[in-house]
Every structure is written in structure tokens, then in C-alpha cells.
Homo-oligomer: A and B are copies of this chain.
Amino acid sequence: MRVSIIGCGTVGASWAALFLAHGHDVTATDPAPGARERLDAFVESARRQLADLGLRGEGRLRFVAGTAEALEGAEYVQENAPENEALKRALLAEIDRQAAPEVLIASSTSALVRSAIVADCARPERVLVAHPFNPPHLVPLVEIVAGDAQVAARAAALYRGLGRRPVILRREMPGHIANRLASALYREAVNLVAEGVASVADIDAALCHGPGLRWALMGPHLTYHLGGGPGGIAHYLEHLGPSQERRWASLGRPALTPEVRAAIAAGVAAEAGSLGIADLEARRDRALIAILKARTPVAPEPEDQP
């Protein structure tokens, strides 16, 4: 398949590496100075990570000067421009004008909703949101928002072919699913710092040595299903639902004041110790690869259902 990657920041470069490692040819473009060099460097380091995961495809990578050239012969388009509604709206309209009519156009947008960014497209039905998680070449989730169920199904099949785990939203929602869950959790994580309950490092440790460990294997609903004993989630909700609702009422509503932001930044600095961002990213990627090799999610995959 010939894939067009429009926008080669961290997300676009990671998508490019994933398509290439699955043997697809990628034509990429990005107007930023130095974009080609950053793309080549990212793809080379991601290539080694993906080979470690058994993905040794050798698609051809071409970097070109503009969107029109990048779209020549494209059979799939993944757009990864900055999270600016006017910019994406105009860019998707331009891609929609130039790409062959049967080609699906996917936007990686995390913060914008599909209805807003397809508003100027002549063929909006073939334009979808396919939002990955950082780094997209390692984290399997792809959140799909489409205006047409067949488009969603075609895109989901394509991402499954890339070893991703697509999730199809029944309707659009700002932040889609996963970033809303993350944001809800982060609000309380900030509250616990603001309230002086524990250090930033200990709040982070409480997640990754506790519920976070289980959440790499199953989501919150299945987790409470196992928390309900033999009666499962129905028993859990009947007997502990009221205490969940009391807990919800007790959650904090912090503001990111300069003081709170400073406390978080100081706490993260203490947590990271001597490790800089690049060190932490390298540790994260090595650890992600290790658990991706080791884990078996608890819930059966839909296609595994009897």
C-alpha cells in the first residue's frame, strides 16, 4: 500500500515508522525546517524497536516538498498537523480535493472533533479521525470516529493489519475516550498534590505499582467485574455503587495555579532524578516493548469470541 503522511512531528514520524515496518511505502511531507532530517532519525531508531517486536517490513520512505506531491498515488492518508482547528479544517479540505475519491483520509487529531475539521470537505464521509497514543508505533490503541459505519470498519481493518487495537466511537466526543479517562484521573492526581497528600513521585508510584499495573491488562469495567466476587459487576454496582458515588462526590476540583504547577514541576524533577527527557523516553520505550512482548490482555479480543 502507498501511504501519505501529512505532517511529520512525533506522531507523523511514528506512524511512518509503523507503516514502513509493515512493508508499506510512505510518502511524507512537512513544511517545518529540518523536518526531513528529524523524520529520518526517528524512523531509523523506531525501525530497530519495531524489528525487536518482529516487524521487519521494508517499505520505501520518500520525503517530498508539498501536500500535492505527497498525495500522488496515495492509497491511504494519515494527517498529523498541529492541533489548530482552522489549520486542520483547511488542510483536510485541500487533501480531500487532491486525493483520489476512494481513498480514506484519517486525521490523528486528539483535541478536535471530526464534525468541525471535515466541515469544508467536499467528501466528508471518507474523512475520519484515527487518533493514536504516544508513541503510536508502540502503543496499540487507535480511536476511530467516522461519519459512515463502512468507513469506520474499513479503517479499523487497516489498523488491525498494522497490529493496532482500533476502537470505534459510536458518536464523536471531545477527547474521544482514552484522553477523557486520562484527564479525569489526572484531575485527582493534581488534587492530591495540591492537598499535600503525598509527593508527586509517590502519587505516580501508587498508580504504576497499583491499578496501572492491572490497567495494562484490562479496563475499569472488567476490573470492577473481578472486584465484585462471584457476583461480578452487577453485584459490585449493587453493593458498592453507592460508595463509588460518594467517592465521586469527594473528588477534588483543583485549579492549575502557578503554585500548584510549581509544586508538580518540582515533584517531577525530584522523581526523575538525574534522568532527562531523552533518558526517560528511552526507558519508556524499552519498557513498553518488554511488556508488549509479555502481556496477554484479560478480555478476549472480539474476533476470539466463540
Query: Judging by beta carbons under 8 Å apart, are B241 and A261 in contact?
Result: yes
Query: Judging by beta carbons under 8 Å apart, are A299 and B271 in contact?
Result: yes
Query: Judging by beta carbons under 8 Å apart, are B261 and A234 in contact?
Result: yes
Q: Which segment, of A15-23, A49-57, A121-129, A189-197, faces chain B? A: A189-197
Closest to A174 in B: B250
Counting CB contacts under 8 A, is A154 at the interface?
A: no
Query: Judging by beta carbons under 8 Å apart, are B180 and A251 in contact?
Result: yes
Query: Judging by beta carbons under 8 Å apart, are B188 and A273 in contact?
Result: no
Query: Judging by beta carbons under 8 Å apart, are B217 and A291 in contact?
Result: yes
Q: Which segment, of A25-33, A93-101, A134-142, faces chain B? A: A134-142
Q: Which segment, of A38-46, A72-80, A275-283, faces chain B? A: A275-283
Query: Judging by beta carbons under 8 Å apart, are B243 and A111 in contact?
Result: yes
Q: Mask for A215-247, Cβ within 8 A of B = 1, else 0?
A: 111111111111101101110011001111101
Tell me the number of copies of this protein.
2
Query: Judging by beta carbons under 8 Å apart, are B277 and A225 in contact?
Result: yes
Closest to A301 in B: B205
Interface residues in A, total, Cβ within 8 A:
117
23 contacts across the A-B interface (CB closer than 8 A): A167-B203, A170-B196, A176-B206, A177-B203, A179-B247, A181-B206, A182-B185, A184-B184, A189-B219, A208-B297, A212-B212, A212-B217, A212-B219, A214-B284, A215-B216, A217-B291, A221-B267, A222-B268, A232-B268, A234-B265, A272-B300, A283-B296, A287-B297
Q: Out of B139, B176, B237, B247, name the residue touching A213 (CB < 8 Å).
A: B139
State in angstroms the CA–CA spacing of A250 and B111 once bound together: 13
A232 to chain B, nearest CB (A): 6
Q: Out of B245, B251, B299, name the residue touching A184 (CB < 8 Å).
A: B251
Query: Judging by beta carbons under 8 Å apart, are B296 and A233 in contact?
Result: no
In the complex, which residues of chain B have a beta carbon less than 8 angstroms from the beta carbon of A218?
A: 204, 208, 284
State in angstroms the CA–CA spacing of A170 and B280 once bound together: 27
Q: Out of B184, B215, B222, name the residue touching A188 (CB < 8 Å).
A: B184
Counting CB contacts under 8 A, is A157 at the interface?
A: no
Query: Judging by beta carbons under 8 Å apart, are A256 and B271 in contact?
Result: no
In the complex, which residues of chain B have a beta carbon less than 8 angstroms from the beta carbon of A241?
A: 256, 261
Query: Judging by beta carbons under 8 Å apart, are A251 and B206 in contact?
Result: no
A165 to chain B, nearest CB (A): 4
Query: Judging by beta carbons under 8 Å apart, are A271 and B141 in contact?
Result: no
